Structure 1
């Protein structure tokens, strides 16, 4: 008679392994925002000093009106290079993206990751009931994946 020994088995907590991970669990809530009237030079200073690549643009009432990114600033820098006038002039409202993809805080991070890949964006404002409550980025999703254990996939 042959006996088989498989060793100690780890019993997974079914409730824990099936817990979804949401955008709200990893989003940034302490946001750096910009105003449409801010100058591009101010945006460049903030992006470099805070080591971020972009952020939401909100009007004076706090309503989300767009997103500004390093790429948007880079367009102004290149424009100045072509005219041989290194100028970071212009306002955020002239360079920001106004068609902004938003996500809800209760979206799964896997669904958020799929949206990032499909739509080729790096960050996304998180909205709840019409209010800006945070921002999720690709790096936030990567952090979430690092926190997962192989048993929760």
Structure 2
């Protein structure tokens, strides 16, 4: 999937010349925590978020550095702090460096950018113009959509077992030399030895995610990897 498949096309934006009050009212009325700033040409100019409005003169929360720290802060830094606390327009308080993503980018790029920069949403651009926005919520909606796939369920046990084995063999961590699966009436019985509980959990996930499986019975034995001692005898897990 790519960004264009999941993004919200109607992106709420604001102009750099808009007032801070207008930006706050828009965020409150739309129940959002940030707005992308777009100039008259439609180009992305910045972003204004709740975080940009925390240090404000109206709230008495403007940044007041101790006198000794003011000596270390450059005049430019102090002037910028004053503007952000007292500026009346969006351009005065917005963050200009905005990370955006192309509409044909893979979703992996979206997740990587969100994780690396600790952000919840990204503007989607085409030729420098904002054409939408992709957020964590959009990714969750896409996840639900994928779960509702309309592919027909396999009806015979042989097909289900083949799908399970193929899925397990595709995983480099799976202990295939000691692992086996049988399927009867869409119920999968998993047999074999494992050397850690993470393998057990992951094998369960693979089997449970195989289409057509109705239940999983765990007969796997936990073997201490250095001595070969049986630590955990099989039980009936489903």
With the shorter chain as reference, the TM-score category is 0.7 to 0.9
Unaligned runs of 5+ in 1: 1-20
Deviations 1:101-129 (A, max 9, x none): 11011112232112101111121111112
C-alpha distance in 1, partners of 2:112/2:145?
18
Match of 2:34 among 54, 77, 86: 54
Contact 1:41/1:88, CA 8 A, preserved across alignment = no
Determine whether 1:131 maps to 2:129.
Answer: yes
C-alpha distance in 2, partners of 1:58/1:72?
17
Determine whether 1:27 maps to 2:7.
Answer: yes
Q: What TM-score do the two structures reach when normalised by structure 2?
A: 0.49
Contact 1:23/1:104, CA 8 A, preserved across alignment = yes
Return the index of the structure with the highest Cα Rg: 2
Q: Which has the higher strand share?
A: 2
Contact 1:56/1:64, CA 8 A, preserved across alignment = yes
Match of 1:90 in 2: 88
Contact 2:37/2:47, CA 8 A, preserved across alignment = yes
Structure 1 residues 104, 35: closer, same or farther in 2, change over 3 A?
A: same
Contact 1:41/1:89, CA 8 A, preserved across alignment = no
Q: How does 1:38-77 map to 2 (within 5 A)?
A: 38-76=18-56
Q: Does the residue aligned with 1:148 lie in a helix, a strand or coil?
A: helix
Unaligned runs of 5+ in 2: 63-84, 148-208, 211-238
Query: Which of structure 1's runs of 4+ aligned residues deviate more than 4 A?
Result: none
C-alpha distance in 1, partners of 2:36/2:143?
24
Match of 1:80 in 2: 59
Contact 1:103/1:127, CA 8 A, preserved across alignment = yes
Tell me how large the CA RMSD over aligned residues is.
2.3
Structure 1 residues 129, 110: closer, same or farther in 2, change over 3 A?
A: same
Task: Choose between structure 1 and 2 for higher RCO, CA contacts under 8 A separated by at least 6 residues.
Answer: 1
